[in-house]
Amino acid sequence: MKRYLTLEDGTVYEGQAFGGSSTSAGELVFTTGMTGYQETMTDDSYAGQLVIFTNPLLGNYGVSLADNEDLEPACAGVICRQLARVTDSWRASESLDSFMQRHNLPGISGIDTRELTQKLRTKGSMRALITDEVLPAEKLPAELIQDQIASFAAVKNQQRPYRIPGSGFTIVVVDFGAKQSILRELIKRDCNLVVVPSSSTAEQILSFAPDGVLLSNGPGDPQNYPDALPMIQKIQEKTVIFGICLGHQLFARANGAQTFKMKFGHRGFNHPVQEVATGETRFTSQNHGYAVDAASLDQTLLTKTYVELNDQTVEGLRHKKFPAASVQFHPDASPGPHDSVAVFDDFIAMITAQQEEKYAQKK
């Protein structure tokens, strides 16, 4: 069955339908990961986006429930060059096509993803529409995509706090769209987790007596989360803070820095990042369309800790006064690479240092 991808510049691509049957609009973005399509599709940071996979073959190892970053896919649709006809993995519980049908997530194959990616690199990310019939580009209002992200955020904020008991430090995770792999890394470190909605106030968060607070990843423009800024400002004076991806951007904005929309963003598992203090280079997993403005850091109490080597964008920050830090990349990195997983140990070390300081002051 034929299916069409219409871009806001009027370009129409014809391909083959797979997955769900729904019409879907979103911001068209590309990811360069060679594996991890299931993790990408269920990563809440992709809410409201149509994802182009540059790896030419999709679905060859099927889908396993254990690899989900959330219970359901968050992206608006999937574009690929070729859908695998055979699934071959002992871990697979179903095929990618079956998984997408079950969640009514539309996909389109047979697309020249190389040409499409080159277009986005030249012109930047743009709105697009997946349909079973050709529709004009004016059916793509910018508000439609933002409404999808807003609806996603509203669902997230309906949840109540929940606990994942542990014997170590109490960490409150502010859930803007947290990946399960982030929670898994904290669980590995025996943390006692309390996951709270992104709408939580500083007072609500501090009522759990946290040893540290983690600001998670999530979708969209950090400017659309104004209520998070006063929350962060109050909490960083009381306890250790660590931000990842969107959490990194919100941490920066709460401390006076600015953010901007990138031309086509960073998405994939092969982005080189350099630690400023040591000069050490790591390959990282990334998924973001916004970044912190480096020039805006001069008037803040933030110092840059990591930079992306391809475009020199800010990849990490640390507060000069408070025990607070953040990274733009994903140190949890599921399925990989795992070069930066020790960043979670740095977070725990910050908490340990603060606890020791408090103990010394009491003596």
Residue 4 among known ligand-binding residues: no
- Copy the structure tokens of residue 12: 């129409």
Out of 245, 248, 271, 339, the active site residue is 245
- Copy the structure tokens of residue 170: 């109490």
Q: Residue 330 catalytic?
A: yes
Residue 140 among known ligand-binding residues: no
Residue 287 among known ligand-binding residues: yes
Q: Residue 245 catalytic?
A: yes
Residue 249 among known ligand-binding residues: yes
With helix as H, strand as E and coil as C, how does 167-211 read? CCCEEEEEECCCCHHHHHHHHHCCCEEEEEECCCCHHHHHCCCCC
Out of 44, 67, 97, 332, the active site residue is 332
Residue 225 among known ligand-binding residues: no
| Backbone torsions φ then ψ of 67, nearest 5 degrees | -95, -5
Q: Who contacts 74 (Cβ-Cβ below 8 Å, separation ≥6)?
A: 41, 42, 43, 44, 45, 46, 47, 152, 177, 219
Residue 60 among known ligand-binding residues: no
Q: Residue 332 catalytic?
A: yes
Residue 157 among known ligand-binding residues: no
- Copy the structure tokens of residue 251: 């941490």
Residue 220 among known ligand-binding residues: yes
Out of 248, 266, 288, 330, the active site residue is 330
Query: In 103-164, which residue ranges form alpha helices assigned H by DSSP?
Result: 113-123, 142-157
CA atoms of 265 and 32, how far apart (whole Å): 11
- Name the region of 356 (left: φ>0; alpha: ψ -120 to 50; beta: rest): alpha
Catalytic residues: 245, 330, 332
- Please give the annotated binding residues, written as ranges: 45, 218, 220, 246, 249, 287, 289-290
Binding residues for L-glutamine: 45, 218, 220, 246, 249, 287, 289-290
